[in-house]
Amino acid sequence: MALDNDTKLNSLGFAKSPADTRVVVAMSGGVDSSVVAAQLAEEGYDVVGVTLQLYDHGAALAKKGACCAGRDIHDARRVAEEMGFPHYVLDYENTFKEAVIDEFADSYLAGATPVPCIRCNERVKFKDLLETAKDLDADCMATGHYIQRKLGAAGSELHRATDTARDQSYFLFSTTPEQLDYLRFPLGHLPSKDATRALASRYGLSVADKPDSQDICFVPNGNYASVIEKLRPGAAEPGEIVDVDGNVLGTHTGVIHYTIGQRRGLGIGGLADPLYVVKLDVDTRRVIVGPKDMLATRTIPVREINWLGDGAFDAADEHHVSVKVRSTRPAREAIIRPKSPTEAEVELLTPEEGVSPGQACVFYETGGTRILGGGWIWRGY
């Protein structure tokens, strides 16, 4: 039944009843997206659950009989049955491989440290799935991400989650303003994951006690190198571990086993001072190590910038912000100097250790919660 003109917007921001508001919920089979779907269904929205089959553990890990993420699909379907809304499974394996997995493997082979979860959000969930939601005549798409969408003077804004320990803003910086207008994040305001699990219990969901996933979805055992070797046979070619002067200190079984800033597992013990991986030279298959102070970086080149701040990302302006160069690091004050609408030089006011090509550099409002965008670190140091 339609609302009269005096009725306020519903909880998703539409001037109509929940029953007349269709929302597609991206359901991974985990607790977070399940709670979003259940909550919206309980509020009376026209909920449609969609789960993407993205990867085949059997293909990625060469294990006979491994299921195609079957448990997660089963859990999502069961939640939909429990809450009484339709649920669909879409086969996105080819899209996911081309848009995410192949780049992940190639980036590692090039000596970078990729973040596939960002590419998945950017190229699959918030692109292809979002278009599918529109094809289903949905008014919006909701996800279980811990982040907030707020309306500002210039339109939709992206803000950190209330629970800073669960905040996923680093992985969502490439969300465009147009996508942000269509997306909803119902969990972003919750104080903790315990609050989410309490809601799951209240709704009687079978996934209420399901553990959080810890690894990249297509690398379930955390062994990136083994997956890359399966995807790119011959990728793990041996080479030398050398110091910054070129002195050979040892050998390795493949550059793909190392990341910038790594200290453990180098196999070159017995030295007076600890050494860290400071560079990966893919062309010569050399892992270059040096003292910790060589990891300190002040100037970072960034490209593929997605700007979410007010106004244009103008090369004539400097932007004083805070930035994160890894998801687990605290934000540091910085100055962004644009070179073009999509490239910039970021100067850290305090040097950061372990900055690596392939990681994201995400921009935040200093002293606030707003995400101003970000880009990709693209050159070694």
Decide: helix, strand or coil at residue 105.
Answer: helix
Tokens (6 digits) for 352? 């950061």
Residues in the chain: 381
List strand residue ranges (DSSP E) for 244-318, in order: 248-252, 276-281, 286-290, 296-307
* Dihedral sign from CA coordinates of 347, 351, 355, 361: negative
The amino acid at 194 = D
Active site residue ranges? 120, 217
Nearest to 209 by CA among 219, 217, 199, 220: 199
Q: How far apart are CA 334 and CA 320, in angstroms?
A: 6
The amino acid at 379 = R
The radius of gyration of the chain from alpha carbons, rounded to an integer in Å, stands at 23
Answer yes or no: are the C-beta atoms of 79 and 207 closer than 8 Å. yes
Give me the residues paired with residue 363 across strands.
Answer: 323, 373
Element (H, E) at 70: helix 70-83
